[in-house]
Amino acid sequence: MQTPAVVTTVDALRAVVGNWRRAGEKVALVPTMGALHAGHLALVAEAARAAPRVVVSIFVNPTQFAPHEDLATYPRNLERDLAALAPAGVDLVFAPEVGEMYPEGASTVVTVGGPSQGLESDARPHFFAGVATVVAKLLTQCAADVAVFGEKDFQQLAVVRRLARDLSIPTEIRSAPTVREPSGLALSSRNAYLSADDRARAAGLHAALSGAAEGVRAGRSAESAIATARAQIEASGFAVDYVELRDAGTLGAFEPDSGRDGRILAAARIGGVRLIDNVPVTMSKSVA
Ligand code: PAF
């Protein structure tokens, strides 16, 4: 079990990845902000299935935090993250400083329309420009064949897919399902901020979304299923930012009769902690 090697500069990253590619080895990238948990390790496992060489980036990206958000207190512990990655077969960690990613005078911002509209953007208007800018940089810096993102951040995943397509970035974007606690609570680095009480009540978020998804699949109207889910989430002790059913592919409006899959996405706050989650609404008929 070897702790992965760490590079902190783009030149060093390119040198290592370039050697692998010249040797004909495929490379998969898992972008993270550190504070790694089992959800990240599932992304790493997916990356390892996709390519023999796995790079994990660890960078708490300042441009995706608003001034009032938790950039200063976001959990950072590189040693612990490296120890978590050691048994996972990660070859390289790219852990740049802010100045490496955003050199003095950096003035290029990537904004994605389409799937970035609404949902998270209503509460966090700065967020996707920060994510898209840093992900565009990571994808071009690493030049990986594959990059893996979690379905937990479903809107982010859609934004990243759109950005890679629109900018002709030749990295294949793959996803991995959300990892949950036995209670159904989606794993998130921000769960560390929850009190024991709120953590127990937070399981109500996933239960409510799953119930709504089941209802829509069974033919209940989206309005009624979503209204019930919202009331249940509030009854668990949350203040709801949004609960919405969208088309799973485009994140545009969901059309129940189109046969296309939907996704119910939600964000809600409990005990000062903002959690997001989402569940699939599978409408495609299974072939007997
Ligand atoms: O999902 C995250 O951890 C971040 O948004 C990402 C994709 C690493 C960009 O900073």
**2 — pLDDT class (breaks 50, 70, 90):** confident
pLDDT in tens, 176-204: 999 999 999 999 999 999 999 999 999 99
- Across the chain, which distance is largest between two alpha carbons, in Å? 59
Q: For 244-251, what is the mean pLDDT? A: 97
Q: How does the average pLDDT of the chain come out, rounded?
A: 96
Distance 227 CA to ligand 1 centre (A): 30
DSSP assigned state of 251: -
Task: With a cut of 70, say whether residue 262 has pLDDT above it.
Answer: yes
Is the CB of residue 131 below 6 angstroms from any atom belonging to ligand 1?
Answer: yes
- CA 247 to CA 124: how far, in whole Å? 21
Q: Give the torsion sign (CA, 95, 79, 88, 278).
A: negative
Q: Give dist(CA 33, CA 61) in Å, integer.
A: 7
pTM over 0.95: yes
CA-CA-CA-CA torsion sign (196, 200, 201, 204)? positive
Smallest CA separation from ligand 1 atom 5, residue? 131
Q: Which residue has the tokens 């709504």?
A: 212
pLDDT digits (tens, 9 = 90+) for 78-111: 999 999 999 999 999 999 999 999 999 999 999 9
Which domains, and CATH codes, for the chain? 5-176 (3.40.50.620), 189-278 (3.30.1300.10)
Alpha helices (H) along the chain: 10-22, 38-50, 78-85, 98-101, 120-123, 127-142, 154-166, 196-217, 222-235
At residue 287, does pLDDT exceed 80? no
Task: Show the tokens assigned to 107.
Answer: 């003035």
Alpha-carbon distance 226 to 3, whole Å? 46
Write the residue with the smallest CA distance to atom 8 of ligand 1: 32
Residue 288 has pLDDT above 50, yes or no: no
Q: Assign residue 272 a region (left: φ > 0; alpha: ψ between -120 and 50; beta: otherwise).
A: left
**Is 161 within 8 Å of 132 (Cβ atoms)?**
no
| Tokens coding 86 | 């050691």
Q: Whose CA is nearest to atom 6 of ligand 1?
A: 32
Query: Which of 78, 50, 42 has its CA nearest to residue 144?
Result: 50
* Residue 118 pLDDT > 50: yes
CA of 254 to the centre of ligand 1 (A): 26
pLDDT at 261 over 60: yes
- In contact, 248 and 261? CB cutoff 8 Å: yes
Angle CA 216–217–219, to nearest 5: 65
Among the listed residues 21, 246, 234, the one whose alpha carbon sits nearest the alpha carbon of residue 121: 246
Reply yes or no on whether 126 is catalytic: no
